[in-house]
Chains A and B, each alone.
Chain A
Amino acid sequence: MSVDIRAQAGPTGNKDAAQAGRPADGDRTAGEWVVRAPQPGRRSVDAQARRDLVLRVVLGLTIPVLMLVSWELSARLEWIDPRFFAQPSTVWQRAVEDFSSGLIWEHTWITIRRLLSGYLAGSVVGILTGLALSQSKILRWLFEPLVRALYVIPKLAILPLLLLLFGLGEMPKFIFIALGTFYIVAFTTLSAAMLIPTPYHEVARSYGLSWGQRFRWLIIPASMPQIVASLRLASGISMLLAIAVEFVQAQEGLGYYTWRAWELFIPQRMYVGVVLISILGVTFSAVIGALGNRLIRWAEGEYDQTR
């Protein structure tokens, strides 16, 4: 969407600027007309959008496809060692085998479950914490220093601690993923809710909004664009943490699947794992983004320029 807009505004805008900026004043003679007319051959908005979409997909695929082809070729011609750089065709075979044996489904399902439970818990608690801290100076002064101090500790660094405290089951994994999500969402929500322009609050006061109405009709919707942005960001990070924890300590999941393939030296399976992880991650972020955009449809016009 945003790309379309820029693509349209760009060329026409540039041409105008070029015309205006051209030091052609000297060439002009009295009685000549300077004409501003429609750009010749200008496409309709729809045609332009269709063309841009096609171009975008083609360009986006160009480099990956070229890489795959040259990879396959160079492995077949033995320019690279096929034992390490398993060529795409054998990776594909391995993927088909692991899918049909049901192995991949199990691992994928477990990773999805961990990801979603940790992400949802972290998001919900993060939003609630951010909103609560934004509304109370006392709560903020009480908790903010502590939360900020803990924020700078890399989440991976506390993983051993979580394993020590919560054993080897699902609990430490859940907390680990939730914590990573929580920090991003909580801080973003807090700052968004505190930056709501004063006139909006004054309207709420003078039109008699109750405490609950103020949250539902002012604070939450006003912070929503930033909350959605943080949820998007957190979706990628929680995926990262889920895989990290499965590398280190798990007996199932896509992270384990990939790590185990390395231990057993099955490079094809490692590639399958990496690709699946990235597909899952991209899909997750896309779903979160699409859901989020539904919540902030009003902001489309409001923030058009900055998107």
Chain B
Amino acid sequence: MPAHTEPDGSVKIRVESLHYAYQRRGRQDVVALNDVNLTIAKGEFLSVVGPSGCGKSTLLRILAGLQKPTSGTVSIRVDDGSRPLMAPVFQEYSIYPWRTVEGNVRLGLDAAGVPRREADERVREWIHRVGLSGFEKAYPANLSGGMKQRVALARAFVLEPEVLLMDEPFAALDAQLRTILQDELLSICQERDYTVFFVTHNLDEAVLLSDRIALMSSRPGTVRQIFDVPFGHPRTPELRRRPEFGALQDQIWDELRADVQAMARGGRA
């Protein structure tokens, strides 16, 4: 894995003086992002942490093309025309209730017109990897929240996109399952050169998975500090036992605490 502190020719995503304001008629604009600058290298796993409402999700949605910047730009470099550029996993998993598990996972493949046999195979494999074998024909109404989220993960992974955009994908899962899927995500990222933009509240998760961690300030959000995670690859969950692991987590938390406390005291305005 390359070192990511000095972005060079292998830049994958470049965010330049990005501003975003939510505009509502008759009310003052809410500035969500204020002058965000960030580069993400090809194959890098970047986590974004910050207090609630700091614009993490807004940043992800702009990357996904679901919202347009108020000013500034986001550029994403295409490296492999044969792969989908990006696939998002949202917080509110939003899988289609009228499609079976299988049907949901193959949504992107169907849209891209991947031949039936190939699609079937990839769908089956991914359903297995997220632990949903046997539920292929089930409708989402009969699944638990955690299972729905795993369908949403498989729906993104099956496309093998260049960039994975993940908005707290494990937040709704129980602790055990979260650990298992974190491991799975680690090994997925080591199989192929994914660039991952990962929004999370969970510092442990951020340190375990990331190459770098961007800390955002409370609203209006901006990147306050970037932490390098001093571990190479391949990684295993045993990393958590290393003293540096806890130290880094504490260091980030020290920076974050003041913002979160201000918010908890009702400093939301």
Interface set of A (CB-CB < 8 Å, partner B): 197, 199-200, 202-203, 205-210, 213, 217-218, 221-222, 224, 296-302, 304
Counting from the closest, the 7 A-B pairs by CB-CB distance are A301-B141, A199-B94, A221-B98, A207-B108, A302-B141, A298-B98, A208-B111
**A interface footprint on B110-125 (CB within 8 Å = 1, 0 otherwise):** 1110000000000000
Query: Within the complex, what minimum Cβ distance (angstroms) separates A164 from chain B?
Result: 45
**A interface footprint on B84-97 (CB within 8 Å = 1, 0 otherwise):** 10111010101111
Docked pose: A297 CA to B107 CA in angstroms: 19
Contacts of A302 in B (CB 8 A): 97, 139-141
Please tell me if the beta carbons of A222 and B111 are within 8 angstroms of each other in the complex. no
Please tell me if the beta carbons of A213 and B111 are within 8 angstroms of each other in the complex. yes
Please tell me if the beta carbons of B64 and A206 are within 8 angstroms of each other in the complex. yes
Please tell me if the beta carbons of A206 and B97 are within 8 angstroms of each other in the complex. no
**A interface footprint on B133-164 (CB within 8 Å = 1, 0 otherwise):** 00000011110000000000001000100000
Contacts of B99 in A (CB 8 A): 217, 221, 298
Residue B264 is within 8 A (CB to CB) of chain A in the complex: no
Residue B269 is within 8 A (CB to CB) of chain A in the complex: no
Q: Given B66, B110, B141, which contacts A206 in the complex, CB threshold below 8 Å?
A: B66
Please tell me if the beta carbons of A203 and B141 are within 8 angstroms of each other in the complex. no
Please tell me if the beta carbons of A199 and B88 are within 8 angstroms of each other in the complex. no
Docked pose: A203 CA to B155 CA in angstroms: 10
Q: List 14 A-B contacts (CB under 8 A).
A: A199-B90, A199-B94, A202-B94, A205-B66, A206-B66, A208-B84, A213-B110, A217-B96, A218-B96, A221-B98, A298-B99, A298-B139, A300-B141, A304-B141
Query: Within the complex, what minimum Cβ distance (angstroms) separates A280 from chain B?
Result: 32
**Given A207-B111, A298-B97, A199:B92 Cβ within 8 A:** yes
Query: Within the complex, what minimum Cβ distance (angstroms) separates B137 from chain A?
Result: 11
**Given A200-B96, A299-B98, A208:B112 Cβ within 8 A:** yes
Contacts of A298 in B (CB 8 A): 97-99, 139, 141
Please tell me if the beta carbons of B94 and A200 are within 8 angstroms of each other in the complex. yes
Q: A202-B94, A206-B64 are in contact. List 9 more A-B contacts (CB 8 A).
A: A203-B90, A203-B94, A205-B65, A206-B66, A209-B111, A218-B96, A222-B96, A299-B97, A304-B141
Name the residue of chain B whose CB is nearest to the CB of A199.
B94
**A interface footprint on B56-94 (CB within 8 Å = 1, 0 otherwise):** 000000001110000000000000000010111010101
Docked pose: A202 CA to B88 CA in angstroms: 10
Query: Within the complex, what minimum Cβ distance (angstroms) separates B217 from chain A?
Result: 26
Docked pose: A205 CA to B84 CA in angstroms: 13
Query: Within the complex, what minimum Cβ distance (angstroms) separates A302 from chain B?
Result: 4
Docked pose: A203 CA to B66 CA in angstroms: 10
Contacts of B108 in A (CB 8 A): 207-208
Contacts of A304 in B (CB 8 A): 141
